[in-house]
Amino acid sequence: MSSVKKEPPRFHIGDWVKFDYGPKKVSAMIVEDRGLLGIQGRRLYRVQLDKELGEASTFEVPENELETELPPVRLSYEVKYIRPDNTNVWHASTRKERVLKGVKAKGAVGYTTAFYEGERADDQRYAAVQVLLEVDPHFDEAAFAAAPSFMREFADRARAIADEMFLSRHPRARVEHTKDSTD
């Protein structure tokens, strides 16, 4: 009786991989290890395509056709807008929050505001916009600390994206950004 030596799986559920899909390479996430079900005992994985491609379907791909892909990385910012009086001048401050791995969303991803019961939308005095910026998967915060111009550039980009969302809700507002620790 011959025994076939089983190789341990190269990938695990949640790993990001890339492979040829038509004329280009695409990213996908492993959602299931199907085992040695392929032709001649090849290991198969069920993968889910990157939803940015417009296809959220899952399908099987043999292990030998997959390459390791680093998970997407996002740099998170919060831009807070405060209106101290009844004018349309809003003071904005920007804060870098954290690095997120495996998150696909990017751009302005959240808008929050609050006002007391009985107040109108025009009475709002506070708003916050969450922004996720795409960064290289090899992102290393130490490298950015060594090059503060990169951090200023990212903060400026986050402010511009946040201002666009904020001004879509407050078109008559005038935004004044305060000097932040990111500057």
Q: Is the pLDDT of residue 53 over 60?
A: no
Same domain, yes or no, for 57 and 86? no
Same domain? 150 vs 103: yes
Per-residue pLDDT reduced to its tens digit, 1-38:
445 557 788 999 888 888 988 898 888 888 999 988 88
Domain count along the chain: 2
SS3 of 5, please? Answer: coil
- Looking at residues 128-146, what average pLDDT do you find? 79
Structure-model confidence comparison of residues 109 and 147, the more confident one: 109
Range(s) of the domain holding residue 95: 73-177
pLDDT at residue 112 greater than cutoff 60? yes
Q: What average pLDDT does the structure give for the chain?
A: 85
Q: What's the CA gap between 171 and 150, in Å, rounded? A: 30
- Domain-located, residue 99: yes
Same-domain status, 94 and 159 = yes
Q: Do 58 and 101 share a domain, yes or no?
A: no
Residue 88, in any domain of the structure? yes
Q: How far is CA 182 from CA 97, 106, 152, 169, in A?
A: 11, 20, 6, 25
Tell whether the model's pLDDT for residue 175 goes beyond 70. yes
- Establish if 7 belongs to a structural domain: no
Regarding whether 137 and 85 lie in a shared domain, the answer is: yes
Same domain? For 131 and 115 the reply is yes
User: Is 2 part of a structural domain of the chain?
Assistant: no
Answer for the pair 81, 90: CB distance below 8 angstroms, yes or no: yes
Burial of 46 (0-12, 13-18, 19+ CB in 10 A): middle
pLDDT tens by residue, 145-156: 667 777 889 999
pTM: 0.68
In this model, does residue 61 exceed pLDDT 80?
yes
